[in-house]
């Protein structure tokens, strides 16, 4: 068969064994500041995360360079992590600071130390396969409400995804149609902008009345839609300025969607939300929990898809599917050496989907479903 009759075949390369260059969020900083070491599996290896007496959180390679002891099973002593095997003391800079039974520390007593960033009550670690430190112009924007008293604390969720590369979740930023079929809402406006290390999704949406009730919350009326400005800053950390519109008021929130790779085919997905303590909200903390639980349902729907889908490098697209190939070109910049990043990967690109046809079809489907339910 040739031409239009030729069967489209799925092309699939193996998932990259290299891990993306950039800042990756490991979670809430307070969870690592409890005086004990924490074992983290990331970037294809074992890491140990610990906070010293000075409060600084450190990330080191997970195994002692002396005889291979697991540092995560050791003890925090002062500003150092002590190996459980022979008590070698490792500082956050990767240098062995002391060996209690030895006259001197060997000059080559060094282990891997990972650059960290603590910001907005979150802990980040820098990964670069070339071993370079983070450039000063590669940053994570400060989230204004994260440390302010007029916003709630983070409501935070963590789940491990097995059998999928983290590219699957990044693809979502251009995938308009899945919001209707998977998440029971549909976008009335959808646009993407890629530039440098930032990929943005601009979206306005409404819920599907046939799939889930448009619930009210204490102190506010029926929800009528939402506005979202969601940007990946680097390969794995997305900040979403998310506003829920109710009949008589808005609820302002910030949603974080982030991940770090465990291996080439598994990753840790994390997400969290904070809500502004507006005067019309009777219980802002309760609102944040309800919103977080609702968002958790959405991510669980994604996970069910990822676990059963094929990896596909040549997706067959229609006009309303969004700039999947352009997004993947943007994403590639984090998987090549810095000197191999091309202008095609980083130059500004904008794409707005015409939502007229999708919304006509989706509205008709929703109304038909509601009518069928009413007559049954």
Helix (H) or strand (E) run with residue 188 in it: strand 185-195
Under a CB-based contact definition with an 8 Å cutoff, are residues 105 and 97 in contact? yes
Asked whether residue 43 carries a pLDDT value surpassing 90, the answer given is yes
Which of 205, 203, 201 lies closest to 192, judged by CA? Answer: 201
Banded pLDDT at 218 (limits 50, 70, 90): very low
Calculate the alpha carbon distances from 212 to 206, 322, 370 in Å.
11, 26, 11
Q: Which residues are CB-contacts of 345 (< 8 A; sequence separation ≥ 6)?
A: 329, 330, 332, 333
pLDDT more than 70, % of the chain: 97
pLDDT given for residue 211 in this prediction: 81
Pairing of strands 185-195, 198-207: antiparallel
| Residue 18 near residue 335 (C-beta atoms within 8 A) | yes
d(CA 323, CA 68): 47
Question: Cα Rg for the chain, rounded, in angstroms?
Answer: 23
Residue 75's nearest CA partner among 60, 90, 65, 61 is: 90
Calculate mean pLDDT across residues 34-47. 97
Which residue, among 93, 119, 114, 113, has the nearest Cα to 29 in the 3D structure?
A: 119
- The mean pLDDT value of the chain amounts to 94
Rounded CA-CA distance 79/93 in Å is 10
Q: In what side-by-side order are the strands of the sheet with 45-51?
A: 38-42, 45-51, 57-61, 113-114
Pick the closest to residue 42 from 68, 57, 22 (CA basis). Answer: 22
Which tokens go with 111? 């282990």
Structure tokens belonging to residue 87 = 């008590």
The residue with tokens 């907005």 is 120
Domains of the chain: 22-127 (2.102.10.10), 149-366 (3.90.380.10)
* pLDDT at site 184: 87
Cα(14)–Cα(7) distance, integer angstroms:
22
Predicted local confidence at residue 258, as pLDDT:
98
Give pLDDT tens digits for 22-40: 999 999 999 999 999 999 9
Residue 4: the pLDDT is 72
Which residue has better confidence, 2 or 362?
362
* Beta carbons of 343 and 220 less than 8 angstroms apart: no
What percent of the chain has pLDDT above 90?
Answer: 87
302 dihedral zone (left: phi>0; alpha: psi -120 to 50; beta) = alpha
Three-state secondary structure call for residue 65: coil
Q: Residue 247: pLDDT band by 50, 70, 90 thresholds? A: confident
In the beta sheet, which residues pair with residue 57? 51
- Check residue 213 and give its pLDDT: 54
Give the residue carrying structure tokens 């997706």. 315
Condensed to tens digits (0 to 9), the pLDDT of residues 306-359 reads 989 999 999 999 999 999 999 999 999 999 999 999 999 999 999 999 999 999
Going by C-alpha positions, the residue among 52, 170, 167, 174 that lies closest to residue 113 is: 52
116-133: average pLDDT: 98
Chain position carrying tokens 């944040």? 288
Mean pLDDT of all residues in 4-24? 92
Q: pTM for the whole thing?
A: 0.94
* pLDDT tens by residue, 69-106: 999 999 999 999 999 999 999 999 999 999 999 999 99
- Beta-strand pair 57-61/22-28: unpaired
Distance CA 62, CA 44 (A): 12
Question: If pLDDT is split at 50, 70 and 90, which confidence band does 376 have?
Answer: confident
Please report which confidence band the pLDDT of residue 216 belongs to, taking 50, 70 and 90 as the band edges: very low
Q: How many CB atoms lie within 10 A of CB 325?
A: 13
Which pLDDT score, from 0 to 100, does residue 224 have?
A: 87
pLDDT at 219 over 70: no
Confidence band of 231 (pLDDT split at 50, 70, 90): very high
Which pLDDT score, from 0 to 100, does residue 1 have? 47
For 263-272, how does the pLDDT look when each residue is reduced to its tens digit (9 = 90+)?
999 999 999 9
Task: Note the pLDDT tens digit of each residue in 151-208.
Answer: 999 999 999 999 999 999 999 999 999 999 998 889 999 999 999 999 999 999 998 8
């Amino acid at each position: 068969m040739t031409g239009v009759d030729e069967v489209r075949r799925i092309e699939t390369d193996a998932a990259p064994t290299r891990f993306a260059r950039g800042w990756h969020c490991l979670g809430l900083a307070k969870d690592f500041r409890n005086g004990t070491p924490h074992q983290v599996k990331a970037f294809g290896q074992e890491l140990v995360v610990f906070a010293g007496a000075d409060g600084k959180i450190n990330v080191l390679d997970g195994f002692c360079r002396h005889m291979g002891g697991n540092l995560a099973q050791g003890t925090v002593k002062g500003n150092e992590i002590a190996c459980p095997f022979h008590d070698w003391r490792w500082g956050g800079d990767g240098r062995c600071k002391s060996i209690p039974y030895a006259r001197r520390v060997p000059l080559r007593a060094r282990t891997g130390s990972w650059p960290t960033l603590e910001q907005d009550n979150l802990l980040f670690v820098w990964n670069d396969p070339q071993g370079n430190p983070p450039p000063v112009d590669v940053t994570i924007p400060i989230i204004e409400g994260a440390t302010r008293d007029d916003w709630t604390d983070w409501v935070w969720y963590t789940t491990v995804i097995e059998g999928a590369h983290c590219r699957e979740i990044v693809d979502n930023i251009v995938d308009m149609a899945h919001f209707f079929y998977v998440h029971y809402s549909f976008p009335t406006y959808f646009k993407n902008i890629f530039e440098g290390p930032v990929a943005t999704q601009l979206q306005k949406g409404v819920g599907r009345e046939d799939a889930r009730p448009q619930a009210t919350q204490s102190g506010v009326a029926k929800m009528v839609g939402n506005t979202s400005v969601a940007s990946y800053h680097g390969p794995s950390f997305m900040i979403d300025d998310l506003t829920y519109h109710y009949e008589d008021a808005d609820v302002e929130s910030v949603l974080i969607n982030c991940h770090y790779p465990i291996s080439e085919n598994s990753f840790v997905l994390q997400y969290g939300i904070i809500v502004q303590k507006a005067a019309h909200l009777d219980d802002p903390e309760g609102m944040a929990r309800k919103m977080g639980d609702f968002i958790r349902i959405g991510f669980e729907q994604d996970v069910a898809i990822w676990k059963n889908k094929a990896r596909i490098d040549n997706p067959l697209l229609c006009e309303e599917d969004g700039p999947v190939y352009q997004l993947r070109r943007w994403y590639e910049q984090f998987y090549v050496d810095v000197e191999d990043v091309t202008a095609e990967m980083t130059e500004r690109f904008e794409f707005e989907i015409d939502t007229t046809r999708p919304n006509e079809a989706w509205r008709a489907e929703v109304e038909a479903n509601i009518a069928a339910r009413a007559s049954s």
